[in-house]
Amino acid sequence: MLCYGLGVGVFSMIPVLGLLAIPVVVALGIYGLVMPIIAAIKANDGTEYRYPLIFRLL
């Protein structure tokens, strides 16, 4: 009975996680469209532009 309850709980969370993921995907899409435009405007002005929220590895 515990395995059945656990399985139902896990499978019932899938739609909830999907509903939570939709705004995140939309926000990342907007971020992906807006940031290159801002970077292009800054580059056209001759200034160096660093993308926010990017890890600097070097």
Q: Name the residue type at position 8.
A: V
- Inform me whether the pLDDT recorded for 19 exceeds 90: no
> What mean pLDDT is reported for the chain?
79
Exposed, middle or buried: residue 39 (CB in 10 Å: 0-12, 13-18, 19+)? middle
**Does residue 4 fall inside a structural domain?**
no
Residue 56's φ and ψ, nearest 5 degrees, are -90, 110
Residue 33 lies in a domain: yes
**Residue 28 forms part of a structural domain:** yes
Whether 56 has a pLDDT exceeding 70, the answer reads yes
Query: Could you tell me the residue range of the domain that residue 46 belongs to?
Result: 20-51
- pTM across the whole model: 0.61
For residue 4, the model assigns a pLDDT of: 58
Is 45 part of a structural domain of the chain?
yes
The C-alpha torsion from 5 through 19 and 21 to 16, rounded to 10°, is -10
Residue 55's pLDDT is 76
Q: What is the tens place of the pLDDT at every residue in 33-49?
A: 998 899 899 989 888 88
pLDDT of residue 26: 92
- Count of domains forming the chain: 1
